[in-house]
Amino acid sequence: MPKYATGKHSKAISDRSGLEFPYREMVREWNGSLVHFTEFEPKQPQLQPRPSGADAISLRHVRPDRIENDVPYSIPENGFETYSSGSRIINVTAPGHGLTNGTTYRFRGAPLAITVAGGTFQFANPADFDGITGANVAKAAGYAITTGLYVNDARNTSDYSVANFFHFTVDTDTATIGGVKGGGVGCSVGPVTLSSWLKKLKILFVNCLVLNNVVVQNKMNILKFMKKLQNKKRYV
């Protein structure tokens, strides 16, 4: 193998500047150029960019937001009140009801301890009052409500009135006297169709069984593992 001189007294020409420098002060750049150490330039990092992964945005364990089932809103005792004699307008007292103006809701009386196929609760009709029949108030199709108290032949649109009262126009029946409260105890207003509570209970029961089965399986696996350790005379 050939042997090269150390170049102790030699000179070299820089590939960059063309100037003469001591040979032993020369260095080699990444592109092969021989330059003086004062002229050395490192390789630009952007010539070989490192791949970068995307920022972590998504979660590993996610669940969709739960949508609550519509439930009836409880109306205070005798929360219905006829507006005036001969009128079909009925004001309803419902503090903080949260109902939507113009939406159709159904009125129901107190719930009964009887269910039909599918697990649907049965409800009594509100009590009759001032010429208004409870069966008509509890019409299956429901009524479109208007938020706010109906007074002086107009809707009261104040924040307090809209948040705590609403009114609707009952079919057929008209008030005999007007300004009479009624309906009895346990009345409610809510969606026309309620979800089956027995179906929800069945789903909950099945979920409990599945969870219990997982616990039992885990317990059995632990017992098997402990027995295996005992057979090997290893104790924990």
Parent domain of 15: 11-41
Same domain, 219 and 165: no
**How far is the C-alpha of 47 from the C-alpha of 45, rounded, in Å?**
5
Same domain, 111 and 203: no
Same domain, 29 and 130: no
- pLDDT given at position 234: 47
Same domain, 162 and 214: no
- Greater confidence, 128 or 206? 128
* Mean pLDDT score of the chain: 82
Strand partners, 34: 28
Whether 235 maps to a domain, the answer reads: yes
Q: Is the pLDDT of residue 219 over 50?
A: no
- pLDDT given at position 198: 45
Same domain, 234 and 149: no
Q: Is the pLDDT of residue 188 over 90?
A: yes
| 8 Å CB contact between 142 and 106 | yes
Residue found by looking up tokens 């609403």 in the block: 166
| 8 Å CB contact between 40 and 52 | no
The pLDDT tens digits for 104-133 are 999 999 888 665 555 566 889 999 999 999
What domain count does the chain have? Answer: 3
Same domain, 151 and 227: no
Whether 60 maps to a domain, the answer reads: no
- Greater confidence, 112 or 179? 179
DSSP designation for 234: -
- pLDDT given at position 9: 87
Same domain, 156 and 209: no
| 8 Å CB contact between 214 and 140 | no
Which residue in 18, 48, 19 sits closest to 31, CA to CA? 48
- pLDDT given at position 56: 74
Query: If pLDDT is split at 50, 70 and 90, which confidence band does 79 have?
Result: very high
Same domain, 222 and 185: no
Whether 142 maps to a domain, the answer reads: yes
Query: In the predicted model, what is the mean pLDDT of residues 163-174?
Result: 95
Same domain, 85 and 179: yes
Residue found by looking up tokens 């509570």 in the block: 197
| 8 Å CB contact between 186 and 122 | no
User: How far is C-alpha 143 from the geometric centre of its chain's CA atoms?
Assistant: 29
Query: In the predicted model, what is the mean pLDDT of residues 67-89?
Result: 89
Same domain, 184 and 206: no
- What count of Cα atoms within 13 Å lies in the side-chain half-sphere of residue 24? 7
| 8 Å CB contact between 88 and 134 | no
Same domain, 181 and 205: no
Same domain, 115 and 205: no
